[in-house]
Structure 1
């Protein structure tokens, strides 16, 4: 659920440096005077684009200065949770997603944003894709975050390498087929590994793709009546499969590879396949940053026992209740999620880089349709097919495809993925990792029975 464009080679370290350079006066309290707001956001390509474009467009037109703080995903989640949960009030806008919105809305931490969108006639709230609206709405049905871009997940592969090896990728592959293809692609070019799969700890890093694999293998974190399933059934089978695949045919340093590292590996020709977020395609098809542009094919998220397995996510703009600059913050968020902004990105940076996946109209723009010809339709269909209420083969206690929508999951998912990442690095066995994870999951389950 994350990515990086300008820091493709340098990776997360460069993104962390970007936090310093983009934050202007720093993360000063939002109670300060003047027409300025403080925005905390994840270091993804789309966010780095908005930081690049804001000064000469939004600020120039409105006079509102935007002080950006940009962080890698794991650091962002810690920072934004700390700021909003403790009511520190450092930021007027923060990027969060479908996991946080319903939980934080119930806690009274977020401003309702639907009314701002309704008053802005140029925003066209009705154009937002239904899955995005539903995932970012509270228990009262109101919108509490504005989607900046939306995503599901799919499989990316090098068409030219497959053709040279006489291989064919099914439109709807199974994970078993993917494993066989990874073995055949491994070493197809000097230094090329078969597949990239996230191994970096974090519920939104390794946890996201792994949980989608767990779902389609018939597993779940918890049964409907809150019985933990981490070391049994489909969860165990899927984790053994995932760890075995990345150990045998995955990228170098897999235990420390997140979205950023896999994006870099795929764009630089170091891997032949990659299963991850649909939002990655815009970066991979940008010839200014990707050596693989024009050489990549796209297939639906691999399955085993389910018809589909793609996740559903949106990085979205949210406004903490603590802000004293609600109107200024709303102006920025509405602009950054608007049709006007999408057109600006297309014209200034290239149409493949448009923050898509949130509006139906995006997929009708001729320039975007041309630039996204290889991945646009499959992205939209993957988003539409994602079902957070029924992502596996059994009933669940909460909604969520790649997460469990309870406050404790942020800590649980991170700790369990730390154990599984250690298994990828061969520092422990998969069974030991899952047994330790089961104990943690049982503690969470006990609170909800």
Structure 2
């Protein structure tokens, strides 16, 4: 029995028929761990094309973001070798590459055209001059909103709104009787879920995780201002479930017409304008908000495919990466589902294609990506690289605990002051123990 069917049955997507075929035909099989986001689910639907072209069978393990991170981190750190490809991001890639846990991707074929990958994505997925993960899609974050509700409120969304305007517009669009929330934002615990949103937001309020000497900064006014503003905004105009809502929950709410404004990953644009959205014809886009301090609240991220050093299927894994993150896959999706549904944010050539340029979200997505600066994300100087994360090995564990404290404040289990005090203590303790 395969690992995926034997261990994770019920929470993952598994190519059971493909596994049986591999056993019967002794075909090469690779196992891929990935996140349950829409573009990743779409890729799985095209896997048969790859198998037909190469004879390589693909087994999928598809998980919710927080669970995926736990599983692949445990696998990579223990050299277990259950996966041939892992879906990781800009946080993990340079850290894992530095530890020798990933195989470099410098020898991909000339036809793959690695030079076409957006420089921002290459920078975030490289270590010591080598690419260690290939971006399947890249993203920043931006404002997505209902133009019809904005018009009804008598307001016009600026191209570059402030948080004060977002709060005003959200209040004007909220209609509790009609089950319309003025705004939907992530509050779900997890450093890559609600933690990503609140950290990016905090940058625009002048907050930072650490000062230049690596001292925790949660006992500062900018952090208190960020959390209080967020909670007031969500209490007045957000869904009652915001403390447990992540990307997928808010996507569903927006597509069902239950959100006036949603600030989240730019990759969501194709979904809110797609066939499953009830508000596709009234979706507008703007840059993520600022607070007048010179920093916007948009992040930079890529879901990318990397090969763990423990694999014994390196060649087959590289074949899949070239197929899934190359221009041929983009053209395959465009041919079958239209240009709006291709994976965005990874390749320069995509944003030069006339049919893609014509999409209502293409320009705003590119502007959002280009405006994100991981090396200069905070108002006050900080010692780390990263916008919604600090690119140090200790961050994931610390930030997961911090996000739990924030979520406890969101649900009324403790005060904002208590949450920030606990965040300060646990972060200080962890950083001291790590030798900072």
Cα offset, 1:122, TM superposition: 1.8
Within-5 A mapping of 1:355-374:
355-370=343-358, 373-374=359-360
Could you say which residue in structure 2 is the equivalent of 1:49?
42
Could you say which residue in structure 1 is the equivalent of 2:93?
101
Could you say which residue in structure 1 is the equivalent of 2:115?
126
| Structure 2 CA distance for aligned equivalents of residues 358 and 276 of structure 1 | 18
Moved more, 340-349 or 91-100: 340-349
Could you say which residue in structure 1 is the equivalent of 2:261?
273
Could you say which residue in structure 1 is the equivalent of 2:103?
111
Cα RMSD between the aligned structures? 1.8
Cα offset, 1:247, TM superposition: 1.9
Are residues 403 and 24 of structure 1, via their aligned partners in 2, closer, same or farther at CA, if it must alter by over 3 Å? farther
Could you say which residue in structure 1 is the equivalent of 2:29?
36
Could you say which residue in structure 1 is the equivalent of 2:429?
443
Tell whether the 8 Å contact from 2:32 to 2:61 is kept in structure 1 after alignment: yes
Within-5 A mapping of 1:258-407:
258-287=246-275, 289-304=276-291, 305-370=293-358, 373-407=359-393
Q: Kindly provide the CA deviation profile for residues 158-207 of structure 1, in whole angstroms up to 9, marking residues without a partner as x.
A: 00111122111111111111111111111187110110010110000001
Cα offset, 1:17, TM superposition: 4.4
| Structure 2 CA distance for aligned equivalents of residues 16 and 316 of structure 1 | 24
Could you say which residue in structure 2 is the equivalent of 1:11?
none
Cα offset, 1:25, TM superposition: 7.1
| Structure 2 CA distance for aligned equivalents of residues 70 and 364 of structure 1 | 32
Q: Kindly provide the CA deviation profile for residues 191-237 of structure 1, in whole angstroms up to 9, marking residues without a partner as x.
A: 10110010110000001110011111000011111111113121221
| Structure 1 CA distance for aligned equivalents of residues 47 and 146 of structure 2 | 35
Cα offset, 1:414, TM superposition: 1.0
Tell whether the 8 Å contact from 1:342 to 1:354 is kept in structure 2 after alignment: yes
Cα offset, 1:34, TM superposition: 3.3
Matched, 1:420 2:406: yes
Segments of structure 2 that go 5 or more residues without pairing to the other structure are: 1-7, 20-24
Are residues 93 and 24 of structure 1, via their aligned partners in 2, closer, same or farther at CA, if it must alter by over 3 Å? farther
Tell whether the 8 Å contact from 2:28 to 2:55 is kept in structure 1 after alignment: yes
2:54 to 58, 62, 70: 62
Segments of structure 1 that go 5 or more residues without pairing to the other structure are: 1-14, 27-31
Matched, 1:234 2:222: yes
Are residues 167 and 445 of structure 1, via their aligned partners in 2, closer, same or farther at CA, if it must alter by over 3 Å? same
| TM-score scaled by length of structure 2 | 0.94
Secondary structure of the residue that 2:418 maps to in structure 1?
helix
Cα offset, 1:428, TM superposition: 1.4
| Structure 2 CA distance for aligned equivalents of residues 248 and 173 of structure 1 | 19
Tell whether the 8 Å contact from 1:37 to 1:329 is kept in structure 2 after alignment: yes
| TM-score scaled by length of structure 1 | 0.91
Cα offset, 1:350, TM superposition: 2.5
| Structure 2 CA distance for aligned equivalents of residues 23 and 106 of structure 1 | 35
Are residues 384 and 153 of structure 1, via their aligned partners in 2, closer, same or farther at CA, if it must alter by over 3 Å? same
| Structure 2 CA distance for aligned equivalents of residues 125 and 25 of structure 1 | 30
Matched, 1:150 2:138: yes
Secondary structure of the residue that 2:76 maps to in structure 1?
helix
Are residues 23 and 419 of structure 1, via their aligned partners in 2, closer, same or farther at CA, if it must alter by over 3 Å? farther
1:409 to 391, 395, 407: 395
Tell whether the 8 Å contact from 2:116 to 2:347 is kept in structure 1 after alignment: yes
